Copies of this chain bind each other. A is one copy, B any other.
Amino acid sequence: VNNRSRNAARSAGARQVHKQQTYQALLHAALHLMEDQSFSSLSLREVTREVGIVPTAFYRHFRDMEQLGLALVDESFDSLREMLRSARIEPMPDKHVYRHSVEILARYVHTRRLHFRFIVRERYGGISVVRQAIRRELRLFVSELATDLIRFPDFSRWSTEDVRMVAALIVNAMFATAEAILDVPAERPEAETEIIQTAEKQLRLVLLAVPHWRSSTPPIGA
Name the one of B36, B124, B209, B217 contacting A121, with C-beta atoms under 8 angstroms. Answer: B124
Oligomer copy total: 2
Residues from chain B with Cβ under 8 Å of A202 in the complex: 165-166, 168-169
Measured CA separation A123–B210 after assembly (Å): 30
Chain A 127-171 interface 0/1 with B at a Cβ cutoff of 8 Å (1 = within): 110000001000000000000000000000000001001101100
Asked if A38 is at the interface of the complex by the 8 Å CB criterion, the answer is: yes
Name the one of B125, B168, B173, B208 contacting A198, with C-beta atoms under 8 angstroms. Answer: B168
Name the one of B126, B127, B135, B209 contacting A208, with C-beta atoms under 8 angstroms. Answer: B209
Asked if A61 is at the interface of the complex by the 8 Å CB criterion, the answer is: no
User: Which A residues lie at the B interface, using CB under 8 A?
Assistant: 36-38, 40-41, 120-128, 135, 162, 165-166, 168-169, 172-173, 176, 179, 183, 197-198, 201-202, 204-206, 208-210, 212-213, 215-217
A-B contact pairs, 30 of them (CB 8 A): A37-B40, A37-B127, A38-B38, A38-B40, A38-B125, A38-B126, A40-B40, A41-B41, A120-B124, A122-B125, A123-B124, A124-B124, A124-B125, A125-B125, A125-B126, A162-B201, A165-B202, A166-B202, A168-B198, A169-B173, A169-B206, A172-B176, A197-B217, A201-B216, A204-B216, A205-B209, A208-B209, A208-B212, A209-B212, A212-B212
